[in-house]
Amino acid sequence: MNYSLDQDARAVLLPAFDSLDFADVMEPFLDQGGHSLLIGETRDEYVARTMSETRISTETASIFRSAIERLRAKCPNLIVAVDEEMGGIQRLQRLVPPLPALAEANSLSHDGLADRCFRTASAARELGVTMFLAPIADVAGMQNPWLRNRQMGTDPAAVAKLVKAFVRGVQKAGVSAVTKHFPGYDNLVADPALVDVASHTPLERILHNALPFQAAIEAGTRAIMTGPAPVVALDAENAASTSPAVIALLRQQFGFQGLVVSDDLDAPATMRGRSLVATAVASLNAGADLLLVSGGPHLGDLCEGIAAAARSGTVSTERLSDAANRVRQHAALL
């Protein structure tokens, strides 16, 4: 099937919403070629690493499932993503069996942990979820307000074991794991979602800490998310999600052939003063396939901007088409 540039521009976007009130925006987006949705959390929930009592008391499994089914009527092969992190943010709190706490996870055998992750993911699949933006493979360092209380340990080998079991268990249930945030962020002095900040970790340390990403690839992770801030040792100018050098490292040295998902392109450390359209084009040109953006009425303008960039040659039509087809092929597998 031949797709238009406008359809391709929508296929590469992963719009995020912090509530289930997304039908008015998502239905026309899907009608015109979109394939993906992130059901996210509010900023307060993100900071607290827990869902609000209001959400927990009012958002039932039936309501959650119905919101997805309405969209799936428009797009049967719909990618529905959530943050469901072991030890971190769990968007499906009290809607599915919880993932084990880190202390318990570390005490379980590989098969035991994979089974626990399978149970959580199986329940999520019944709700209509097909993608977890997890596991977090970053190895904890001395400071990192962005990933505080989300990272799974300080030892690369120990984190790698958790990552491998998580990927295998979740994907056995038919939910894609999106291992994040390549190439790994041990130390950041501030939250890249709030300020323009960069990682200054030496390359030798980055590669040493990358063992969990290698483990995820060996376990068959279907997707990997790149980070939201520059990694100076690889590319001082561009955030990982807009860096050709970072994605080339992932594709070539790490041999990853699956879906490359950007982190939030609205982050100041990712935009670095550019418009959202220019940031999205930079991410595509760097080699990302599925671009995480905030959802809302602006989606139409963003899609038009990406399509216009393809028409002008700012991003090649081949690169846009390749990314869009990768997303469609991924969706068809779910």
Nearest of 133, 130, 134 to residue 68 by alpha carbon: 130
Compute the Cα dihedral for 207, 46, 70, 34 and give only its sign.
Answer: negative
What is the tens place of the pLDDT at every residue in 76-107?
999 999 999 999 999 999 999 999 999 999 99
Residue 143 belongs to what domain range? Answer: 5-333
332 band by pLDDT with thresholds 50, 70 and 90: very high
Count up the domains in the chain and report the number.
1
Q: How far apart are CA 43 and CA 135, in angstroms?
A: 20
Q: How far apart are CA 57 and CA 117, in angstroms?
A: 24
pTM of the model: 0.98
**What pLDDT score was predicted for residue 1?**
82
**Three-state DSSP class for residue 190:** coil
C-beta atoms surrounding 101 within 10 Å: 11
The rounded percent of the chain whose pLDDT value lies above 90 is 99
Mean pLDDT of 171-194: 97
Mean pLDDT of 249-262: 98
Q: Which two tokens stand for residue 129?
A: 């979820």
**Three-state DSSP class for residue 149:** coil
Upstream peptide bond of 35 is cis (omega within 30 degrees of 0): no
Average pLDDT across the chain, whole number: 97
The rounded percent of the chain whose pLDDT value lies above 70 is 100
304 band by pLDDT with thresholds 50, 70 and 90: very high
Strand pairing category for 131-132 and 79-82: parallel
Mean pLDDT of 299-311: 98
**Three-state DSSP class for residue 177:** strand
Phi-psi map region of 148: left, alpha, beta (phi>0 left; psi -120 to 50 alpha): beta
334 band by pLDDT with thresholds 50, 70 and 90: confident
The CATH number of the domain where 289 resides is what?
Answer: 3.20.20.300
User: Is the Cβ–Cβ distance between 196 and 272 less than 8 Å?
Assistant: yes
What is the tens place of the pLDDT at every residue in 41-74?
999 999 999 999 999 999 999 999 999 999 999 9
Burial of 309 (0-12, 13-18, 19+ CB in 10 A): buried
Q: How far apart are CA 282 and CA 77, in angstroms?
A: 27
User: Is the Cβ–Cβ distance between 4 and 32 less than 8 Å?
Assistant: no
By residue count, the chain amounts to 334
Phi-psi map region of 156: left, alpha, beta (phi>0 left; psi -120 to 50 alpha): alpha
Mean pLDDT of 246-257: 98
